[in-house]
Structure 1
Amino acid sequence: MTENRESATPARQPGLPELRPVGESPLQPPAQARSQALNDHELPRDRSQAILEAAKQVGALLKRKGHRFALAGSVAVYAHGGSGHLQHDADFCVRRADAEAVARTLAEAGLTVRTPPEDWLMKTTCLGQDVDFLFELAHRPVTTDLLALAQDVPVDSVHMPVLPPTELMRGLVEAFSEHYCDFGPALAVARALREKVDWEDLRGSCEDEPMPAAFFFLLERLDVIAPREEPR
């Protein structure tokens, strides 16, 4: 659920660890490990399946190494029963403080770590698909408390921590602004997860903002959610 994020030449960002491609020291893994890099696997023909497989590979890798993380984005929506038509990439939430440790784990598996100009994420490529590691959701930092909300959910055959539906929806709604108000993707998620989202909690946290308020009004008019009862 990332917005238009373009990859860039790796560069160190203020406040981020110095991350380098796997071909460079000190993150270069042994030759045998490089020969088994995840990107050497045969790619699935279907784009959505490729994104899903990339998420499974990376999630399993992070689990084995004991990292704290939570799956987010369209793959997380799919894990909660949403559409299998996945969007753009796979997203994982990690704490900024864990970025260096996660980067080393990825590099040891033969994955190149990149730091784009935006300082709220780092990126890699697995099975030909972009995988983003988010330090923020809608300008809110990923915290231990947020990761503690994650639910252990099967993503196809791989169990991993996945952000709950309310937090997935919150990340979408809180991102709306005068400069970004594409309701289409968020509407699809709202339809798919409406029975699993705590709409009262969500409205209470962001309905005072004009764009989220407009989105909730749209959901009411489309009968996705019930109108909010006004106090008497």
Structure 2
Amino acid sequence: MEAPEELLQTLTRVSSALRDGEVPFALTGGCAIYARGGPASEHDVDVLVRPQDVEVAQQAMENRGMSTVEPPEDWLVKAFDGDRLVDIIHRPNEYPVTDAVLKEAEELRVGPASVPVMPATHLLVDKLLVLGPHRCDMSQLLPTARALREQIDWDAVRRDTEHSPYAEAFLLLVERLGITEIRIQEAAEDPERGKEPN
């Protein structure tokens, strides 16, 4: 399953707009999961920016013909590329986006664009921290955990979500399903694997 072409086009426009506006950013959310080999996103484009860059980011989007609105939530701004939504997030899960956060991102190819993409561990932590009594569908997270499991630092996920009983329940589930087991048996059995030829 491929990410919709229109969403990838929006991602390219967003990336180009933010680079032209000299706004440090990183891709997060569903498109970032797709970039790292997870399920395709069909919803929106999510980018992280520092709080001090929000207005510049808004202006950069508007300079590309997108409209922006400030929703009731105080942790993001929304932009629209036609009918496609872009979330400009500056305080996900009650922590501010900083230079240190953005430095964790890795430049990856996503469709026609090359963009900084947040690590898989960060992506899963963010998804787990939005789980709650009114939003507790873990079925959407299981394919992500399966696809990205070898990229995820599971100890870090446990540490960063230890205050959430919903995250704890999900981590128990993936442990019982064997998803958190990293498959390194072949490398252990073949010590010559990966060595340079003489």
Q: Structure 1 length normalisation: TM-score?
A: 0.73
Q: Distance in 2 between matches of 1:199 and 1:127?
A: 38
The answer (yes or no) to whether the contact 2:3–2:42 under 8 Å persists in 1 is no
Residue 113, structure 1, aligned to residue 68, structure 2: yes
Deviations 1:87-137 (A, max 9, x none): 321111111211111111111222111111111111111143111101122
Residue 50, structure 1, aligned to residue 11, structure 2: no
| Matched AA of 1:143 | T
Report sequence identity in percent.
Answer: 34
Residue 73, structure 1, aligned to residue 29, structure 2: yes
Structure 1 position 82, deviation (Å): 1.4
Q: Distance in 2 between matches of 1:88 and 1:62?
A: 20
Instruction: Provide the aligned C-alpha RMSD in A.
Output: 1.9
Structure 1 position 179, deviation (Å): 3.2
Residue 156, structure 1, aligned to residue 111, structure 2: yes
Q: Which residue of 2 aligns with 1:98?
A: 53
Q: Which residue of 1 aligns with 2:192?
A: none
Structure 1 position 158, deviation (Å): 1.3
The answer (yes or no) to whether the contact 1:60–1:160 under 8 Å persists in 2 is no
Q: Distance in 1 between matches of 2:103 and 2:6?
A: 28
Gaps of 5+ in 1: 1-45, 228-232
Question: Counterparts in 2 of 1:117-196, with a 5 A limit?
Answer: 117-196=72-151
Specify which structure has the higher proportion of helix.
Answer: 2
Q: Which residue of 1 aligns with 2:20?
A: 64
The answer (yes or no) to whether the contact 1:183–1:215 under 8 Å persists in 2 is yes
Greater relative contact order (CA < 8 Å, ≥ 6 in sequence): 1
| Matched AA of 2:132 | S
Q: Distance in 2 between matches of 1:194 and 1:68?
A: 28
Question: Secondary structure in 2 aligned to 1:179?
Answer: coil
Residue-pair matches, total: 181
The answer (yes or no) to whether the contact 2:121–2:153 under 8 Å persists in 1 is yes
Q: Structure 2 length normalisation: TM-score?
A: 0.84
Structure 1 position 71, deviation (Å): 0.5
| Matched AA of 2:20 | R
Question: Secondary structure in 1 aligned to 2:68?
Answer: coil
Structure 1 position 207, deviation (Å): 2.9
Q: Distance in 2 between matches of 1:177 and 1:139?
A: 15
Q: Distance in 2 between matches of 1:183 and 1:173?
A: 9
Q: Which residue of 1 aligns with 2:178?
A: 223
Q: Distance in 2 between matches of 1:222 and 1:47?
A: 27
Q: Distance in 2 between matches of 1:54 and 1:208?
A: 35
Structure 1 ranges of 4+ moved more than 6 A: none
Question: Counterparts in 2 of 1:12-27, with a 5 A limit?
Answer: none
Q: Which residue of 2 aligns with 1:16?
A: none
Gaps of 5+ in 2: 183-198
The answer (yes or no) to whether the contact 1:73–1:90 under 8 Å persists in 2 is yes
